[in-house]
Structure 1
Amino acid sequence: MMLSISSAFAQFSTYYYQKKTLYDALPNDKNEIIFLGNSITDGGEWAELFRNKKIKNRGISGDVTDGVLFRLEEVYESSPKKVFLLIGINDLSRGKSKAYVHKNILKIVDTIHEKSPKTKVYVQSLLPVNDCYGKFRGHTNKGASVLWVNKKLKSDASAHGYTYINIHDSFANEEGKMKKEYSNDGLHLLGKGYLNWVDIIKAYVK
């Protein structure tokens, strides 16, 4: 996605621009393990959670698939060892179709493979949401779309050369909504939620 800095500033938030320019300025390391996504990724202290200094947090609160595409060069230029991607719920909340989210996630994966062929890409399912708190209504009413995107991401893993990780089901209650023990707003995670996430993906990280 080719945008000028000025047009990006207009399209994305000031926080996005603050974080993007910071990530651009940070040095690259060998064998980086990158966590890439929106606020749910941004909120995790990944290097501490895994006790691994090679892990880099490249989450930006409020980010969307187009935002990830616009800043993707910083991710692949270090030829990272692994990339763990979780993105899409903000697109859905802003009226983007589930097909649009699916297409853009595949574009992110394909671009990483093209620019950094040795990088292993892990696409994590979108997490469940819960509307019981009355917060983030534009996000927490997208449960059906989340399931659709996840189903497509699972089915396309082999064709696009990524590993699909189903983190959704371990966070969902019997109704398919985010368990209250993991979130206090129906969208973002509490500490226990991050510990659950780590437990699900630790074998892939290590």
Structure 2
Amino acid sequence: MKSFKYILLIFLFFSSFSTFAYLENSSNIQTPIASNVLVGDSITAAWPWQELLAKSDIANRGVSGDTSTQILQRMNGILEVKPKKAFLMFGINDFGRGADPEQVFKNYETIVEILQNAKVRVIISSTIKCSANQIYLQSQIINQKVDRLNAKLRDFSRNHGIIFVDINQKLSDSNGGLNKRYTVDGVHLNYEAYKEWAKLLSPLINEN
């Protein structure tokens, strides 16, 4: 238990530092203009989407460690890209910190409202689960929360004319968790997983 608390404290420290560094340095970075913006945490941030999708008109706005609340706080920077489409996928860090699906969903609602008010088309990817054997992440509890959030996001998307991309159908194993063949550590994705995700996003990104 002590080791778990120690790991959690380190995780929270570096998560907070990553967001602080992003906010601190964003004013010094020339913001590219892109029609497509990917919004999320380290899972989004970790991969060069322009190369994977063979398209330059993409801005990656994933920040390592970000929760839905932190993403909400940096929406101005996301809108500076002047996107036409925004692809959302986040939530796992919220649950790692004990948040409820209802809290995360409310943040999603607000983020979608901000984007739609700016005339940005929203596409939501299901929050990706962690592997079922990741005991230090309390994976069973976290994946149950992910399921509850995704059910809310699916219904919300259907009721608001938003495309919902269920990436878990591709990446999950028979136990319902993230398949080991698609992950480097039980949470973050490997190249094969990103290829599967890109197959689902590519037609949407290439739409006019």
TM-score by length of 2: 0.85
Cα–Cα, structure 1 residues 21 and 34, in superposed 2: closer, same or farther, change >3 Å? farther
Amino acid across the alignment from 1:156? F
Match of 1:142 in 2: 142
Distance (whole Å) between structure 2 residues aligned to residue 73 and residue 25 of structure 1: 15
Amino acid across the alignment from 2:171? F
Matches within 5 A, 1:1-206: 13-114=16-117, 116-117=118-119, 119-135=120-136, 137-138=137-138, 141-206=141-206
Distance (whole Å) between structure 2 residues aligned to residue 29 and residue 133 of structure 1: 37
Matched residue SS, 1:58: strand
Deviation at 1:191, TM superposition (A): 1.2
Deviation at 1:126, TM superposition (A): 0.7
Deviates more, 1:14-23 or 1:161-170: 14-23
Distance (whole Å) between structure 2 residues aligned to residue 82 and residue 52 of structure 1: 14
Deviation at 1:172, TM superposition (A): 0.6
Give the superposed CA RMSD. Answer: 2.0
Instruction: Give structure 1 stretches of 5+ with no counterpart.
Output: 1-9
Is the 1:30–1:78 contact (alpha carbons within 8 Å) kept by the matching residues of 2? yes
Distance (whole Å) between structure 1 residues aligned to residue 158 and residue 193 of structure 2: 28
Instruction: Give structure 2 stretches of 5+ with no counterpart.
Output: 1-12
Identity among equivalent pairs (%): 27
Amino acid across the alignment from 1:16? T
Is the 1:24–1:74 contact (alpha carbons within 8 Å) kept by the matching residues of 2? no
Cα–Cα, structure 1 residues 50 and 25, in superposed 2: closer, same or farther, change >3 Å? farther
Match of 2:6 in 1: none
**Residue-by-residue CA offset, 1:10-67 (whole Å, 9 max, x unaligned):** 9x71221222344444334444311110010011111111121111111011100110
TM-score by length of 1: 0.86
Matched residue SS, 1:84: strand
Amino acid across the alignment from 2:144? A
Is the 1:85–1:121 contact (alpha carbons within 8 Å) kept by the matching residues of 2? yes
Amino acid across the alignment from 2:181? E
Deviation at 1:87, TM superposition (A): 1.1
